[in-house]
Amino acid sequence: MRYLSTRGQNPSSGTSSAAPSFAEILLTGLAPDGGLYLPESYPQVSKAELELWRGLSYAELAYAVLSRFIDDIPPADLQALIAKTYTAEVYGNGRNREQAAEITPLRWLERPDEAGDEAGLAILELSNGPTLAFKDMAMQLLGNLFEYVLAKRGEEINILGATSGDTGSSAEYAMRGKAGLRVFMLSPHQRMSAFQRAQMYSLHDDNIHNIAVRGSFDDAQDIVKAVSNDHAFKARYKIGAVNSINWARVAAQIVYYFKGYFAATGGVSGNSDRQVAFAVPSGNFGNICAGHIARMMGLPIGRLVLATNENDVLNEFFHSGVYRPRASTETHATSSPSMDISKASNFERFAFDLVGRDPTVIRNLWSAVDAGGSIDLSKTSFYSRLSDFGFAAGRSTHADRLATIRDTYEKYGLMIDTHTADGLKVGRELRTPEMPMVVLETALPAKFEETIVEALGRRPERPASLQGIEDLPQRVEVIDVSVDAVKAIIQRQLD
């Protein structure tokens, strides 16, 4: 499997032999031309293969899927890395310890009607890892892949990332203490929950460096991209990425769409024609991009329901054809802070498929985005093709989140976090009776205690290992929005 950039040359032009392999792009993040990596083509999964995959464990399924994208790591080594990652011990923070071996248990809120009038509503639990967020599903594997590839090459790498709340802690917990790895993580100052800040800033490992930016997540993400696009600096300081701009993150997330599909269609043979809808809380478009790719591979996903909070750039695009990233001053600080994003990096990956994988079109469109402008596809043939990709979209507000959290607790006895509430609110609005609606849980409610208390008047439970985390000493460097300031911190630590 070889990879191309969304802004680079098509493999059909005769340059595909120079395209990089998985291990090469694992360590680079952004492509040299500023684009994002994607496979030259999506591997296809037949109905017969779907039937064979139904009975696999999560680790076995992850190998079946990921081996289609990774052919430059020996199969036995890849299998061992995946088996080491997806264990009940690593993903044992869920509500029911007895289900830990399932890794991503499916919880029915409304079971399918035996008469066939209602296909059911479910939550796919993705937040049972060490930081209680779905980011652990990919990040734990990424940490093991990084360590393996670096050891084989005898190299080191310095990870530079930006987080709106959950990516940072997931990355740091996955990379802490690992040989050959340092992490420099940018976060928006005072725009995360107290629990999220504590998870990151209480880590004092020598290879972990937290930097809080006086601005929004988009400001932090722009800094990461600017540093990555300084090719001389990137090469000298061996800068890599763990944000969802890194293809390996997206690839690992494809797996749980297959696992959720099998669980929602009964987990038995004979149902691989049945379509399933997934509702996905979306900020940076990485999570739902993985669902888009699973669908392109042949997984029978009938609908991908994108849910935003008040920062509704993506919802606006799917309703109007206009993609208009907002300035940091227009980005709302909300009670689902991990989605407080107004410039969705992974949207470029979907747009590449939408425009027929033409990198010239993407270069032209994103030159406007990178200059602070917008994209209007409403009157183009590309927008008319949007329905071919199965997307629907909706928006949720703080009042909606509180109401959904209350209703879910009262009706189903289940406490959910604010982001999952966004997904459930929009998913219920857009569900149809002919296919199950599976809402992707993005975090456990303990990460957003303040809003849970506001909604329910009670505190969510948290694992014993994370009790009192807010009281631990914290270490973070606070800076203004400045590329040079971040470069200076990296230089000070490495020179």
Q: What is the pLDDT of residue 116?
A: 66
Which tens digits make up the pLDDT trace of 342-393? Answer: 999 899 999 999 999 999 999 999 999 989 999 999 999 999 999 999 999 9
| Mean pLDDT of the region 53-68 | 97
| Mean pLDDT of the region 174-187 | 92
pLDDT band at 9 (very low <50, low <70, confident <90, very high): low
Domains recognised in the chain with CATH numbers: 134-246+468-493 (3.40.50.1100), 275-460 (3.40.50.1100)
* DSSP state for residue 266 in the 8-state scheme: T
- Rounded distance between C-alpha atoms, residue 346 and residue 331, angstroms: 18
| Mean pLDDT of the region 283-295 | 96
Which of 204-208, 241-245, 450-454 shows the lowest per-residue confidence on average (mean pLDDT)? Answer: 241-245
Query: Is the separation of the CB atoms in 285 and 347 below 8 Å?
Result: yes
HSE at residue 90, side-chain half, CA atoms within 13 A, is 25
pTM of the model: 0.91
* DSSP state for residue 365 in the 8-state scheme: H
| Helix 75-85 and helix 58-66, axial crossing angle in degrees, nearest 10 | 140
* DSSP state for residue 384 in the 8-state scheme: H
pLDDT at 267 over 60: no
Cα-trace Rg, the chain: 21
| Mean pLDDT of the region 120-133 | 96
- Rounded distance between C-alpha atoms, residue 173 and residue 292, angstroms: 28
- Rounded distance between C-alpha atoms, residue 66 and residue 116, angstroms: 34
| E strands in 384-444 | 391-395, 437-440
Q: What is the pLDDT of residue 52?
A: 94
Q: Which two tokens stand for residue 332?
A: 């709302």
pLDDT at 115 over 90: no
| Mean pLDDT of the region 89-105 | 93
Ramachandran region, residue 306 (left: φ > 0; alpha: ψ -120 to 50; beta: rest): beta
- Annotated catalytic residues are 135
Which residues does 183 contact at the CB level (< 8 Å), separation at least 6? 158, 159, 161, 171, 172, 175, 176, 207, 208, 209, 242
Which tens digits make up the pLDDT trace of 427-445? Answer: 999 999 999 999 999 999 9
pLDDT at 13 over 50: no
| Mean pLDDT of the region 67-75 | 97
Q: What is the pLDDT of residue 270?
A: 54
Q: Which two tokens stand for residue 235?
A: 């090469």
Which of 108-117, 196-205, 448-457 shows the lowest per-residue confidence on average (mean pLDDT)? Answer: 108-117
Which residues does 370 contact at the CB level (< 8 Å), separation at least 6? 34
| Mean pLDDT of the region 417-421 | 97
pLDDT band at 269 (very low <50, low <70, confident <90, very high): very low
- Mean pLDDT, the chain, rounded, equals 92
pLDDT at 20 over 80: yes
Q: Which residue has the higher pLDDT, 266 or 296?
A: 296
At residue 240, the 3 state secondary structure works out as strand
Interstrand relation of 276-281 and 437-440 (parallel, antiparallel or unpaired): parallel
At residue 45, the 3 state secondary structure works out as coil
Q: What is the pLDDT of residue 12?
A: 41
